[in-house]
């Protein structure tokens, strides 16, 4: 008899679980609180209400633009298995490489390469070299120190990272408090605040450091920092994904919101969903919750926590959320600016933007809205709590119109420089603010965000439950689960879903079923093999209660390490006999 699985949530986690289960012959039902045409969760594009004129399509809004970093492995692997109807292609072919990026501010305009450097010399002269040369105030000595901090990470074994860095913030690890404002803005805080809505003074040094290494990608020559889709997200990815899953037998049920679980005898015995026709009871052999933590945590009952103690930390984890939402400016002329993402380090709202039309080569924008749109400047607002420049209020305390005005002003200050107009406000035809931002009730209170983003914090790892919860028929497929990615991203949600499906397969095998089904592949984060000898050495040092190698080397050890950046040189550097000569009191 075919095992049945109920998946709750139609975002990336839920779609991944349904896809993987469907490929393996399970009977799968997906329950999503939105209509299925709006599937995709935080990754979805949004049909702007009331924007279509005549027989044109509604304008394509977004919860936030899609960013596919080069270090993603799970998402591209899934995309390769989603065919494009009528074409000998898969959805992964809809990814387009960004060739440049830009730091744009009132004092700076730094262009960075879109592809990763091929050599260590190029690493030193690319992003960090650009920052140092731009005269933004990052002292060369500070730059050297920051690179050394990255090298400490690269040479630290995983066990030490968990032991020493999970309890420390990224700010502490890179010694930001004792350094210049430019160091804090461009090196310590810039990447975290604008990419994942996290604050460097709160974020775990382990997670922040590892992800920063992944983003820099110095270990993978030829990789690209930044990729985007070649059309609105649902057109290019989500809709084909739903269609392919349906072809595998997956059934989708829209406008069905999960409202509770029944748990008896250490198992989930049923679930309740609320739809237009009232509540309905759902029963299945297995249950997969793919809801965000702020929606899932309130549904966890005492009986569920007793059956699966791993769920205990979710209530505390749900408080670790922050806002990161999009606003789109639909323009009557092309506005490419740079073929990639733009970071605005001087703006209080921590904005990031991308001009979409240059990536949408086969999309005829005249078929959207009123036919006058030629480009879409898609902007993410990552800081909703710092007062803006026009109204001196937090974004969450403004009206939607005031948010629009604030963002326009901050973009204009950064892009309209030296007499050149980089952002012509007269080109704006329509503005759309993410519809997850809703008016407060009662009026006068801050705005409400229906889909905040989980942020990483110090000591949060132990609060995160595993995908395999401990109840043999209940699993989690969401971005707050313990994963290698350890960050609220599409990649993390996809990885969590794969782990959940593997958990179901393990139970099935123990019962004598699905014996010929392979596990979903779970990828490890990639780091440069050239540093593996250092990690092996550090593992031995840790087992002997000895500090990391960097504690014994003088300032400037980074240059020494970079000088040994070949296998033979590293072998000599980490040879225990050599270390015994250097540090006889430890060996």
Instruction: Outline where DSSP puts E strands in 396-507.
Output: 428-433, 437-438, 448-449, 453-454, 474-476
Helix 239-247 to helix 12-23 angle, to the nearest 10 degrees?
30
19-34 pLDDT tens trace: 999 999 999 999 999 9
- Residue 397, token pair as written in the block: 């305390």
pLDDT average, residue stretch 422-435: 94
pLDDT above 90 for 577:
no
CA separation for the pair 280, 290 (Å, rounded): 19
Domain ranges of the chain: 4-33+254-321+454-510, 116-223+528-582, 324-449
The pLDDT of 305-316, averaged and rounded, is: 96
CB count in 10 Å sphere of residue 326: 23
DSSP 454: E
Q: What is the pTM of this model?
A: 0.90
User: So what's the pLDDT on residue 144?
Assistant: 79
The helix or strand, by DSSP H or E, that contains position 130, with its residue range, turns out to be: helix 127-133
**How far apart (Å, rounded) are the C-alpha atoms in residues 22 and 20?**
5
For residue 567, what pLDDT is reported? 37
List own/partner pairs for 562-571 with CB under 8 A and 24 or more apart: 562/120, 562/124, 562/151, 565/120, 565/530, 566/530, 567/530, 570/530, 570/531, 570/533, 570/534, 571/533
Q: 132 in helix, strand or coil? A: helix
pLDDT of residue 474: 98
pLDDT band at 332 (very low <50, low <70, confident <90, very high): very high
Half-sphere exposure of 294 (CA within 13 A, CB side): 13
Beta bridge mates, 378 = 328, 354
**pLDDT value of position 183:** 84
What's residue 53's pLDDT?
96
**Minimal CA–CA distance to 453: which of 317, 334, 342?**
317
pLDDT at 369: 96
According to the model, what pLDDT value does residue 288 have?
Answer: 98
- Position 455 scores a pLDDT of 86
Q: What is the mean pLDDT of the chain?
A: 86
Beta bridge pairs of residue 476? 289
Out of 279-283, 359-363, 452-456, least confident range: 452-456
* pLDDT tens, residue by residue, 532-562: 888 998 999 999 999 988 877 655 555 555 4
Q: Which of 469, 522, 454 is nearest to 494 (CA)?
A: 522
Q: pLDDT for 94-114, tens place per residue?
A: 999 888 777 777 544 544 555
Q: For residues 381 and 408, is the Cβ–Cβ distance under 8 A?
A: no
Rounded (10°) CA dihedral 471, 472, 474, 478:
90
The string of pLDDT tens digits covering residues 492-533 is 999 999 999 999 999 999 988 777 889 999 999 988 877 888
CATH number of 324-449: 3.30.9
Q: So what's the pLDDT on residue 125?
A: 45
Q: How many CB atoms lie within 10 A of CB 277?
A: 8
Half-sphere exposure of 293 (CA within 13 A, CB side): 29
pLDDT for the residue numbered 143: 79
pLDDT at 128: 47
583/541 Cα distance (integer angstroms):
12
- For tokens 């804090």, the residue is 184
Q: Say whether pLDDT at 441 is over 90.
A: no
The pLDDT value recorded for residue 124 is 47
Q: Is 252 helix (H, G, I), strand (E, B) or coil?
A: strand
* pLDDT (0 to 100) of residue 569: 42
Percent pLDDT > 90 in the chain is 61
Q: Do the Cβ atoms of 137 and 182 come closer than 8 Å?
A: yes
pLDDT at 140 exceeding the cut of 50 = yes
Helical packing angle, 205-216 and 140-154, nearest 10°: 100
Residue 236 has pLDDT above 50, yes or no: yes
Pairwise CA distance, residues 166 & 244, whole Å: 40
Interior angle at CA 491, CA 148 and CA 316, nearest 5: 85
Q: What span, in angstroms and rounded, lies between the C-alpha atoms of 262 and 140?
A: 60
Handedness of CA 160, 163, 166, 171 (dihedral sign): negative
Residue 421 has pLDDT above 90, yes or no: no
Place of tokens 């990224």: 170
Mean pLDDT (whole number) for 476-505:
95
- pLDDT at position 448 is 94
Please report the pLDDT score of residue 270 as a whole number: 98
* pLDDT attached to residue 564: 44
CA atoms within a 13 Å half-sphere pointing along the CA-CB vector of 340: 21
CB-CB contact of 278 with 272 (8 Å): no
pLDDT at 553: 65
Cα 65 to its chain centre, rounded Å, is 11
> What pLDDT does 138 receive?
74
* pLDDT (average), residues 90-94: 96
In the three-class reduction of DSSP (H, G, I as helix; E, B as strand; rest coil), residue 5 is classed as strand
Answer yes or no: are the C-beta atoms of 28 and 21 closer than 8 Å: yes
User: What was the pLDDT predicted at 587?
Assistant: 33
| CATH number for the domain formed by residue range(s) 4-33+254-321+454-510 | 3.50.50.60
Does residue 393 have a pLDDT over 70?
Answer: yes
Q: What number is the average pLDDT over the span 421-431?
A: 92
- The model's pLDDT over 44-67, given as tens digits with 9 standing for 90+, comes to 999 999 999 999 999 999 998 888
Closest-CA residue to 123 (of 225, 205, 208)? 225
pLDDT of 566 over the 60 cut: no
SS (H, E, C) 301-318: CHHHHHHCHHHCCHHHHC
**576 confidence band (pLDDT: 50, 70, 90):** very low
How many CB atoms sit inside 10 A of residue 180's CB?
Answer: 15
Contacts of 323 (CB under 8 A, 6+ apart): 197, 381, 382, 384, 395, 396, 449, 452, 453
d(CA 152, CA 160): 11
In this predicted structure, what is the pLDDT of residue 528?
A: 80
With a CB cutoff of 8 Å and minimum separation 6, the contacts of 141 are none
């Amino acid at each position: 008899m075919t095992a049945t699985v109920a998946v709750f949530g139609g975002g990336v986690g839920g779609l991944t679980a349904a896809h993987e289960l469907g490929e393996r012959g399970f009977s799968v039902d997906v329950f999503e609180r939105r209509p299925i045409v709006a599937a995709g969760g935080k990754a979805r594009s949004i049909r702007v209400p009331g924007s279509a004129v005549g027989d044109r399509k509604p304008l394509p809004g977004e919860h936030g633009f899609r960013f596919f970093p080069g270090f993603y492995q799970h998402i591209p692997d899934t995309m390769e298995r989603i065919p494009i109807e009528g074409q000998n292609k898969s959805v992964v072919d809809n990814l387009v490489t960004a060739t440049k990026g830009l730091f744009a501010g009132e004092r700076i305009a730094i262009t960075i390469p879109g592809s990763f450097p091929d050599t260590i010399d190029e690493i030193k002269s690319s992003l960090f070299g650009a920052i140092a040369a731009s005269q933004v105030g990052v002292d060369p000595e500070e730059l050297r120190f920051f690179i050394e901090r990255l090298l400490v990470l690269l040479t630290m074994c995983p066990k030490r990272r968990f032991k020493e860095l999970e309890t420390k913030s990224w700010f502490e690890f890179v010694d930001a408090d004792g350094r210049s404002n430019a160091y804090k803005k461009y090196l310590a805080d810039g990447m975290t605040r604008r990419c994942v809505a996290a604050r460097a003074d709160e974020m775990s040094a382990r997670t922040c450091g590892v992800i920063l290494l992944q983003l820099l990608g110095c270990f993978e020559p030829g990789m690209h920092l930044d990729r985007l889709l070649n059309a609105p997200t649902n057109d290019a990815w989500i809709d084909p994904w739903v269609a392919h899953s349906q072809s595998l037998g997956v059934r989708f049920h829209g406008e069905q919101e999960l409202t509770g679980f029944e748990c008896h005898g250490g198992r989930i015995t049923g679930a309740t969903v609320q739809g237009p026709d009232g509540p309905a009871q759902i029963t299945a052999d297995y249950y997969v919750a793919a809801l965000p933590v702020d929606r899932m945590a309130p549904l966890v009952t005492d009986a569920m926590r007793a059956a699966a103690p791993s769920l205990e930390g979710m209530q505390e984890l749900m408080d670790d959320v922050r806002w990161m939402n999009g606003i789109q400016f639909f323009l009557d002329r092309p506005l490419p600016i740079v073929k990639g993402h733009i970071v605005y380090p001087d703006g209080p709202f921590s904005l990031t933007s991308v001009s979409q039309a240059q990536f949408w080569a086969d999309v005829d924008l005249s078929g959207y809205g009123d036919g006058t749109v030629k480009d879409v400047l898609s902007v993410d607002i990552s800081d909703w709590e710092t007062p803006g420049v026009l109204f001196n209020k937090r974004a969450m305390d403004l009206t939607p119109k005031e948010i629009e005005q604030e963002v326009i002003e901050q973009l204009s200050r950064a892009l309209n420089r030296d007499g050149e107009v980089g952002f012509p406000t007269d080109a704006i035809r329509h503005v759309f603010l993410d519809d997850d931002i809703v008016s407060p009730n009662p009026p006068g209170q801050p705005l409400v965000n229906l889909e905040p983003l989980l942020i990483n914090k110090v000591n949060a790892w132990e609060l995160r439950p595993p995908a395999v919860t401990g109840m043999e028929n209940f699993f989690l497929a969401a971005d707050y689960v313990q994963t290698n990615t350890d960050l609220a991203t599409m990649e993390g949600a996809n990885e969590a879903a794969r782990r959940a499906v593997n958990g179901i397969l393990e139970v099935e095998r123990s019962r004598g079923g699905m014996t010929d089904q392979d596990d979903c592949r779970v990828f490890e984060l990639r780091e440069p093999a050239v540093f593996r000898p250092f990690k092996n050495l550090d593992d031995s040092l840790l087992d002997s209660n000895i500090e990391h190698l960097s504690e014994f080397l003088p300032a400037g050890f980074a240059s020494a390490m970079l000088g040994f950046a070949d296998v033979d040189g590293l072998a000599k550097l980490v040879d225990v006999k050599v270390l015994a000569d250097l540090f006889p009191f430890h060996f």
